[in-house]
Structure 1
Amino acid sequence: MKLEPREDWVYWVLLAHYASTDTRKRYWKERPDDLHAFLRAQPEWNELEPKLVQEAMLLNALSEQGGSLITLADAEYPQSLLTPATLRPPLVLYALGDVSILAESPFVAFAGSRNASETAIQETRRLAGEIVQEGYHTITGFAKGIDAVAAQTTLELGAKTIGVLAQGLLHHLTQQLAREFMHALNENRLLFLSELHPNSPWSGRFAMMRNRIVAALGDFLIVVESGPEISHRDGKTVQSGTFECAKTAHQIGRRVYTLDLPAEGNQQLLARGIATPWDNPTPPSPPVQGVLFE
C-alpha cells in the first residue's frame, strides 16, 4: 500500500527540515490541526514560503517513484515511535514500499558489525531463519554486514523486512537498493524508511540517528556482533553504532539479546547488563506494547 499524495505534505516537509527549532517546539506543544496556518503565523514564514514550489516538485518526484510520506498526524505513523520523548520521534517518515508492513507484527530488530566475522554471518543466517519460522518479520538499518544478511535471509524465506536508511529516498544509494530489491518491493515484502530529506546523502551521523528508529520499531533487538562501545582509530574516538543501538533499545524498555561471541562489544553488553545471552532457540513472546515514546 502506498499513501496517496496530499496537499499538506509540503508543509510537513517545511516543518521537519526548514523550520526553526523554536517553531518545531511550538508545534509539539500545540499540535495544531491546520499546519499551513500554523506555519504562516511563524516568524520565519517569509523564508519558508519560497521553498514551497521546489519541495512540492521533490515530493512529486518521490511519489512518481513509488514513495510516500507518513506524517506524525497519520494513522500509519508507528505509535512505538512516540515514547519516550528522549528519542526525538521524527515528524515525518519517507517510505518506499508497502506502508502497511508497519502494521505487521511482530518484528525483531537485528544489529551488528558491517565488517562481520564469518561466524557472525553464519549465526545471523541461522537466527534470522529461526525468527522467521516463529512468525516474526525483521527490521534493520540495511547496512552491509549483519544487517544485509538478516534482511536477505528474511526475504529468501518469504517474510517481510523493513530497512531504516541513513540517506534520503531520492539519493542514488537508495535508488541502487530499489533496483537491487525491486522484486521484494513489488511483492510488498520490503519497506524502506528514512526520516531524512529525500536528497540527503549518507553520513555516519545519520547512521547513528536512525538506530533509535530501528530500536523502537522492533519488539526486541538481537545484537549479533558488536565492536567496543568506544574505540580509537587514526587518532579519533569512534562510537560503535551497533553498541549505541543496543543502549537505546535497553533505555526504552526493549529487550536486548546478544550472542556470547568473543567480540569486545558483545562482552561489554553482557557485562553491563544491557543485553542477555541469546541461548534459547525459540524467540520469546513479543512484549505487550505500551505507550513508550516522544
Structure 2
Amino acid sequence: MITIVDDIYPPVLKTIKDAPLVLYAMGDIDLLTLHPMLSVIGTRKPSNEAMPKMKEYVLPLIQEGWVIVSGMAMGIDSYAHRLALNSSGRTIAVLGSGFDYIYPKKHMQLFRQIAASGLVLTEYPPNTPPERYHFPERNRIISGLSFGTFVIEATERSGTLITVDQALDQGRDVYALPGSPLAEHTKGCNKMIQDGAKLVQSTADIAEDWKRMESHWVI
C-alpha cells in the first residue's frame, strides 16, 4: 500500500485533480521512479493491423527503456502490456477493481505476468469488485502517470476518449495514429488529430517531445 505522503508515490500523480490518496501495488514499485512513461490505449476491438502498428511505433520505445502504462482491458491495452512483456520491457497496469477481482477474468494470466515482472496498481482495496464507474476513474491514473497518451486505434465514440479528455485536462500530450476515414477503428484517432492531437508518423514524433520536456518533467 502506497499513500500520497510516501516517498515512492509518483510526484507527477500528485499534480492531477482527485489524485488517489492510496495506491495498492503488486510487483516492482521501483518502476514508479522511472521515466519516461507513456500510456498506450485504444479500442477493445482492434483491427488485424493493430499489433503490426504497435510493433512499428511502440516497440522501439520499449526497447529504449520506456515504461508502457495501460489498463489491462481487452484489445489495445492487453496488446501493449504483452508487447512490453514479450520484449523484456517495462509495463504498468492500472486496474478498475481490487486484486481479488481481476477483470476481465480471461486476463488472470496476464495479470500474474505483469505482477511478476512489471507492476499492477489500483486505488481500490483488494475486495472491491469492478464497477462501470471505476474504469473512467482509473483512467485518470493511467494518463496522470504518463507524460503523454498514445492512441493506437479508436472508434468515433470509443471509451478511449475519456482517457484522452483526462490527459488533456491534466496538461498531458496526446498522440494518435491516423488511418483511413472509411475504417471504423481509426475514425476516433482521425477526430482526435482534427481536434489537436499530434499525428504520429514515427516514434521520433513522441521521443523528440520527451527530450524537450524531460528536464521540466523529472522531479
What band does the TM-score fall into relative to the shorter chain? 0.7 to 0.9
Would you say 1:210 and 2:138 are equivalent positions?
yes
Residue aligned with 1:208, SS: helix
Instruction: Give runs of aligned pairs for residues 142-157 of structure 1, distance below 5 A.
Output: 142-157=72-87
Would you say 1:197 and 2:125 are equivalent positions?
yes
Q: Which blocks of at least 5 consecutive residues in structure 2 are unaligned? A: 181-185
Report if aligned partners of 1:125, 1:150 keep a CA contact under 8 Å in 2. Answer: no
Corresponding residue for 2:170?
Answer: 252
Residue aligned with 1:249, SS: helix
Corresponding residue for 1:236?
Answer: none
Opposite residue 277 of structure 1, the aligned amino acid is L
Aligned length: 208
Corresponding residue for 1:280?
Answer: 202
Residue aligned with 2:133, SS: helix
Superposition RMSD on alpha carbons, in Å? Answer: 2.1
Deviation (angstroms), 1:277 = 0.4
Corresponding residue for 1:120?
Answer: 50
Distance 1:206 1:181 in 2: 18
Report if aligned partners of 1:106, 1:136 keep a CA contact under 8 Å in 2. Answer: yes
Corresponding residue for 2:26?
Answer: 96
Report if aligned partners of 1:259, 1:278 keep a CA contact under 8 Å in 2. Answer: yes
Report if aligned partners of 1:211, 1:241 keep a CA contact under 8 Å in 2. Answer: no
Distance 1:220 1:154 in 2: 17
Deviation (angstroms), 1:181 = 5.0
Residue aligned with 1:192, SS: strand
Distance 2:43 2:102 in 1: 23
TM-score normalised according to structure 2 size: 0.86
Identical pairs, percent:
30
Report if aligned partners of 2:37, 2:147 keep a CA contact under 8 Å in 1. Answer: yes
Shift of the 181–200 alpha-carbon distance from structure 1 to 2, 3 Å rule, reads closer
Opposite residue 114 of structure 1, the aligned amino acid is R
Residue aligned with 1:138, SS: strand
Opposite residue 7 of structure 2, the aligned amino acid is A
Residue aligned with 1:204, SS: coil
Shift of the 272–77 alpha-carbon distance from structure 1 to 2, 3 Å rule, reads same
Distance 1:172 1:272 in 2: 35
Q: Extract structure 1 runs of 4+ deviating beyond 6 A.
A: none
Report if aligned partners of 2:36, 2:66 keep a CA contact under 8 Å in 1. Answer: yes
Report if aligned partners of 1:108, 1:138 keep a CA contact under 8 Å in 2. Answer: yes
Residue aligned with 2:20, SS: coil
Shift of the 213–158 alpha-carbon distance from structure 1 to 2, 3 Å rule, reads same
TM-score normalised according to structure 1 size: 0.65
Distance 1:104 1:192 in 2: 15
Q: 1:270 aligns with which of 188, 193, 197?
A: 193
Report if aligned partners of 1:138, 1:151 keep a CA contact under 8 Å in 2. Answer: yes
Residue aligned with 1:118, SS: coil
Report if aligned partners of 1:121, 1:145 keep a CA contact under 8 Å in 2. Answer: no
Distance 2:174 2:101 in 1: 32
Distance 2:120 2:67 in 1: 14
Deviation (angstroms), 1:265 = 1.0
Shift of the 113–176 alpha-carbon distance from structure 1 to 2, 3 Å rule, reads closer
